[in-house]
Structure 1
Amino acid sequence: MTEATPGAQPAREFVFVLLEDFTLIAFAAAIEPLRIANMASGRTLYRWRVLSESGEPVRASCGVELRVDGPLQECPREATAIICGGIDVAKRATRPLINWLRREARRGVAMGAVCTGAHVLARAGLLDGRRATIHWENREGFAEEFPEVDLGGHVYVLDGDRMTAAGGASSADMMLRIIAAEHGAELAGEVADQLVYSTPRAEGDPQRLSVPARIGVRHPKLAQVIRMMNENIEEPISAAALAEAAGMSTRQLERLFRRYLDRSPKRYYLELRLEKARRLLLQTDMSVINIALACGFTSPSHFSKCYRSRYNRTPYRERGISGPE
């Protein structure tokens, strides 16, 4: 890094904490904009350290192993600690890590997270009453476990001295916003150009593509019905009610789904509910019965039957435990 210009404001420091099985792209997308900002400005605007709980190298979810600068340690009060999560994040929220986070937060260190790292901050109670985000695949489980967090579906959220990014490229979006706020939009634009990132997203942008873009179909009525299905998982709406809301007959709705998605509305709706159930099974400690109810199944046996048909194993086997077949 280059030396700071005399009289310039001190470099801002970030402390990245890598959890085992962290998502490499989310970490790289957070740290690279800082490096490029230093290079583009010719000054040391940002400094960083990379830590792990033990100080040992950490393996990313893709299998790449990274060396770190040391174990958990006291941070400068003006620093920002960023938890970099990934797979099985609930298992990474160890007592030493939680204690360290709480201690550093009490000292005034700002706290952030990328990908699933928000789970660890929430487990430490550092997101209570705060706005936050997490990767969309983990959203249902997070919301069930941490109802005191104001969870949104945005690419990133900045709430005072708390910052969270949903994962993937969203880390870059968040850092570009910080660079623009601290050193101007022109520098942030130079950094984005170096990243070959032509359209950085704003804080309020959604994580996922629109329904038409996701399914590859731009039929407004089909998109409307699918949105309604996604918004009514716990209490499914009948095909007749869906058709009426979209201004068509039930037969027209059936033809629309067959033509564009090669399945009936009932089958598509069931698949959405089972996908949510699988995420809850893998990401939360909710009972199988409560998951069944949360996904619109009034009978646990019917839920188990449908789940087995879809995933070739029962909900209990999904969790690696014995249970009713």
Structure 2
Amino acid sequence: MFPEPKEGFTRRVGFLLLPGFSMNSFTFAMEPLRVANKVARKELYDCPVYSLDGENVEASNGLRLEVLGNLHEAGEPENIILCGGHNISAFESENLISWLRTLGRQGKIIGALYTASYYLAKAGLIDNTKCAVHWEYLSAFNETFPEIETSNELFEVSPKGFTCVGGTAGLDMMLNFISDLHGFELARMVADQFVHERIRDRREFQYFGLSARYSIQDQRLLRVIQIMEDHLEEPLGLEELSKIAGSSRRQLERMFSKQFNKSPARYYSELRLYRSRQLIMQTKMRIIEVALACGYNSSAHFSRCYRNFFGCTPLSERKLPAAGEQI
């Protein structure tokens, strides 16, 4: 992604920290560049940090970080990385979107960590490329930008920039970039500093497959769960699911009871409710739109099911303060 370095040239990689940014994602992306300078014993990278208004910015964990400048000054480095936080649409900034479009026209290389890909999408900068989205925000992103092809991989790279799911994926991404620019040996030495035994390729998935996630070996059960996850908007009936599993309805119920201590209908319902909660918390979709996207025909029925499961209505859930970031 980064152009080939010139001899003796220090590459400036600027980080723009959005309000409530993920400290974890920022650190894993910035620190490999600092450590590369240490290991190489020369300044290969300069990593200035900026905020929208030039004021110190608070991360999702409550810590405040000192910054060098504001949005206007953040456009000076040749490479810009946006660092997002827990809420995929925590704030709307026309200045940010306009600024991103200007940088795009100038040919700047722009990257996005964690949820910051939302703002690249709003600016129209990833229309023709795959976008890596953290699994927790994938549903909300797909509902907001159905025209953009998303990816389950750790990061996606294009000539104009990159998107990264955040967390430790930022470390692997930067190690790959260091390897491309300065050789694998330097990247390996940087990885050793982090006690990181293996540099993951971008094509690796964010999370384990269903079998590893649930410790399930029964292929019939795995097939049914995958079908459920793929059909949340238009739920299938138990008879149809039984046919997919190649078993009777009673056998399907026994499989779910043994594995999850709940009926397949209950498991399916909870999948849909958890998906709806992601959309409630991470998008500005209307309640009825969320209900329809998760297989409910009316907002009243959806709200009743939601309240029974989560202990609050969808509307009151949306008004609650964010519970904090998980990565």
Task: Provide the aligned length of Structure 1 versus Structure 2.
Answer: 315
Matched-pair contact (CA < 8 Å) for 2:48–2:68: yes
Q: Partners in 2 of 1:35 and 1:22 — Cα distance?
A: 20
Q: Residue in 2 aligned with 1:29?
A: 28
- 1:229 equivalent to 2:247? Answer no
- 1:265 equivalent to 2:264? Answer yes
User: C-alpha deviations, 1:35-73, integer Å up to 9, x for none?
Assistant: 122222223222111000111111111111111112123
Provide the alpha-carbon RMSD of the alignment.
Answer: 1.9
TM-score of the two chains, using structure 2 as the length reference: 0.90
Q: Which amino acid aligns with 1:155?
A: L
Matched-pair contact (CA < 8 Å) for 2:13–2:77: no
Q: Which amino acid aligns with 2:125?
A: L
5 Å-filtered alignment, 1:285-324, equals 285-320=284-319
Matched-pair contact (CA < 8 Å) for 1:74–1:104: no
TM-score of the two chains, using structure 1 as the length reference: 0.90
Q: Partners in 1 of 2:253 and 2:234 — Cα distance?
A: 20
User: C-alpha deviations, 1:228-272, integer Å up to 9, x for none?
Assistant: 111111111222222222222221211111111111111011101
Q: Which amino acid aligns with 1:119?
A: Y
SS of the equivalent of 2:14 reads strand
Q: Residue in 2 aligned with 1:3?
A: none
C-alpha deviation, 1:171, in angstroms: 0.8
C-alpha deviation, 1:9, in angstroms: 4.9
Q: Residue in 2 aligned with 1:72?
A: 71
- 1:83 equivalent to 2:82? Answer yes
Q: Partners in 1 of 2:296 and 2:70 — Cα distance?
A: 46
C-alpha deviation, 1:118, in angstroms: 0.6
Matched-pair contact (CA < 8 Å) for 2:14–2:77: no
- 1:48 equivalent to 2:36? Answer no
Q: 1:52 to 1:78 in 2, by over 3 A?
A: closer
Q: 1:78 to 1:60 in 2, by over 3 A?
A: closer
Q: Partners in 1 of 2:18 and 2:92 — Cα distance?
A: 9
Q: Which amino acid aligns with 2:71?
A: L
Q: Which amino acid aligns with 1:65?
A: R
C-alpha deviation, 1:34, in angstroms: 0.7
Q: Residue in 2 aligned with 1:106?
A: 105
Q: Residue in 1 aligned with 2:212?
A: 213
Q: Residue in 1 aligned with 2:174?
A: 175
Q: Which amino acid aligns with 2:245?
A: A
Q: Partners in 2 of 1:233 and 1:107 — Cα distance?
A: 41
SS of the equivalent of 2:89 reads helix
Identical aligned pairs, as a percentage? 40
Q: Partners in 1 of 2:118 and 2:10 — Cα distance?
A: 28
C-alpha deviation, 1:31, in angstroms: 0.5
C-alpha deviation, 1:128, in angstroms: 2.0
Matched-pair contact (CA < 8 Å) for 1:23–1:87: yes
Matched-pair contact (CA < 8 Å) for 2:50–2:74: no
Question: Where do 5+ consecutive residues of structure 1 fail to align?
Answer: 1-6
Q: Partners in 2 of 1:245 and 1:263 — Cα distance?
A: 19
Q: Which amino acid aligns with 1:167?
A: G
- 1:118 equivalent to 2:120? Answer no
Q: Partners in 1 of 2:216 and 2:45 — Cα distance?
A: 44
Matched-pair contact (CA < 8 Å) for 2:56–2:67: yes
- 1:197 equivalent to 2:201? Answer no
User: C-alpha deviations, 1:108-144, integer Å up to 9, x for none?
Assistant: 2111110101111112222222221122111111122
